[in-house]
Amino acid sequence: MAELTLNEKRLLAALAKEKKADAEHLASLLNATPEAVVQWGHLAEDKGLAKVERIVKKIPTLTEEGIKYRKSDQLPETQILDAIKTGTTLTDLQKNDAFKIGFGQLRKRGLIQLNGTYVVKVPNASTEKENSILLCFDETGKLHADPALKFGEDYNQSIKEFVKRGIARESETVQNLLTITSEGTLRVNAGLDIREEIGTLTRDQILSGSWKNASLRKYDIKKLPKTVYPGKSHPYQRLIDEMRQILLEMGFTEMHGEIVQSAFWNFDALFQPQDHPAREMQDTFYLKEDAPLPEGWECLRDMHEHGGNTSSTGWGGKWNPGKAKQCVLRTHTTSLSIQYLAAHPEPPVKAFCIGRVYRREAIDPTHTPEFEQLEGIVMDKDVTFRHLLGFLKEFYQRMGFSDVRFRPGFFPYTEPSVEPEIWVDGLGWVEMGGAGVFRQEVTDPWGVKCPVLAWGLGVSRVAMLRLGLKDLRQLYLSDLEWIRNSPVHAPAAAGRKA
């Protein structure tokens, strides 16, 4: 026979008397909380001795408006219906406060008709039923009788209607009903030992030997404890933190910047021509505001128009300062890299940033209009393209992706340019972003003389791969189940290439 805890026994004893009772009531009998009673009930249920039934009820209460009607004892339609006597005209009724709503309701339900200027009731017109239901609430808006018993289906109909009209609202209450099974009754009748059980022995009980006669609580070591979901940071945030840690360990400084940038920093300073398609409205979020041009903007104008003091020919044509002043939601974090360089033109510089960027993208499983990028720059006397590839390889390896390769790429601000790719079992080579060495057209206007290695990598891509997601949007949803169940240690990334 299954062992019972003292609490289960107390519950069964109480249930044997009550037969059927809700957890609240039992809790007051047993001097416990309703939650505890439900828990004991479940334990007894597992042993076939009791049953716990969870009943979710919708309880209506009156809204402010409903309370107003309740205080006058009448729904607006009842008030209007009462006001209609032989010879009542529409103009008479219009004087009534309840006219608008009351008249509308009566018309809608076909309880009145217009006869010229007179308003007449149809035979047997009545709003008696719903009005009596209104009266089942008290003046604070609470139900004081159980109208379902008295009015049956009419009641449900009226409440639905009240809710629709904003006279009442429904809230859910949960009731736990406990009953004893016949087996439970047998157990109680056979006699239960309701002696106080001891869960923890005291020093005195051990010394005096009184523990020998005590009734000790038994533990079921096979029972699994309830799952605990302790607070932890979001899986995506954890990954971002991991990346930040890696970059800091590699000797980088973190840079910060605004989400709203001028087109000047987002595009022009990166030698993106003013008629570049990425600058179009359909690709970029523009703001109404303008931002002033920074000091030294003339050098940039010259660079665009004819290549400034360099051997570049620039883009030619006239550079439009108005276009550069427009504010945008940054479309890439490279807008921060160039500002950082402008502020730190002397070597060495090793800086990174992980930030959100914005593009007008149609939303689908692999595209969202906002996403994160990991941006980095390295500037020093003798850094070369090979160093760039080495940095990227090192970063991905530290993230758990051991196979990295580079494909030639193109960006208006770098030369040469590459697109790093990582190998993922089952997916193959996955493109991760862009990288390259900043062109002279980019560095020269700010007096930067050393080579600058730069990259911008997709962060959510890495997250998708590491967290095994098929849909990027998962990262931005408040999906509590997923967040709770995602392990604190993200699984080791990707596979190795065979």
Task: Could you list the residues known to form a binding site for L-phenylalanine, using ranges.
Answer: 334, 373-375, 413, 438
DSSP-assigned letter for residue 74:
S
Q: Does 355 bind ligand PHE (CB under 6 A)?
A: no
Q: Does 334 bind ligand PHE (CB under 6 A)?
A: yes
Nearer to ligand PHE, 271 or 315 (CB): 271
Q: Does 265 bind ligand PHE (CB under 6 A)?
A: no
DSSP-assigned letter for residue 156:
H
Q: In this structure, are residues 58 and 172 in contact, taking their beta carbons and an 8 Å threshold? A: yes
Q: How far is the CB of 395 from ligand PHE (least distance, A)?
A: 14
Q: How far is the CB of 414 from ligand PHE (least distance, A)?
A: 5
| Residue where the block lists tokens 């990707």 | 494
| Residue where the block lists tokens 């398609």 | 277
x/- letters, 450..479, toward ligand PHE (CB under 6 A): ----xxx-----------------------
Nearer to ligand PHE, 147 or 456 (CB): 456
Q: In this structure, are residues 454 and 437 in contact, taking their beta carbons and an 8 Å threshold? A: yes
Q: How far is the CB of 266 from ligand PHE (least distance, A)?
A: 10
x/- letters, 288..327, toward ligand PHE (CB under 6 A): ----------------------------------------
Q: Does 371 bind ligand PHE (CB under 6 A)?
A: no
Q: Identify residues 405-424 at the interface with ligand PHE (CB under 6 A).
A: 411, 414, 417
Query: Terminal CA-to-CA distance of the chain, rounded, Å?
Result: 58
Q: Identify residues 190-229 at the interface with ligand PHE (CB under 6 A).
A: none
Question: Which of 433, 440, 451, 494 contacts ligand PHE by CB under 6 A?
Answer: 433
Question: Where on the phi/psi map is residue 428: left (φ > 0), alpha (ψ -120 to 50), or beta?
Answer: left
Question: Which of 434, 451, 461, 463 contacts ligand PHE by CB under 6 A?
Answer: 434
In 20-166, DSSP assigns E strands to 20-22, 50-62, 112-115, 118-121
Question: How open is the CA angle 470-474-475, to the nearest 5 degrees?
Answer: 115
| Residue where the block lists tokens 């026994």 | 9
From residue 246, alpha-carbon distances to 242, 352, 392, 488 in Å are: 6, 11, 12, 18
Q: Does 284 bind ligand PHE (CB under 6 A)?
A: no
Q: In this structure, are residues 338 and 207 in contact, taking their beta carbons and an 8 Å threshold? A: no
x/- letters, 20..59, toward ligand PHE (CB under 6 A): ----------------------------------------
Q: What are residue 322's DSSP bridge partners?
A: none
Q: Does 374 bind ligand PHE (CB under 6 A)?
A: no
Query: What is the C-alpha to C-alpha distance for residues 162 and 155, in angstroms, rounded to an integer?
Result: 10
Binding residues for Mg(2+): 415
Q: How far is CA 295 from its chain centroid? A: 42
Q: Does 340 bind ligand PHE (CB under 6 A)?
A: no
Q: How far is the CB of 324 from ligand PHE (least distance, A)?
A: 18
Query: What is the C-alpha to C-alpha distance for residues 242 and 372, in angstroms, rounded to an integer?
Result: 14
- Residues lying near ligand PHE in the complex (CB under 6 A) are found at 332, 334, 411, 414, 417, 433-436, 454-456
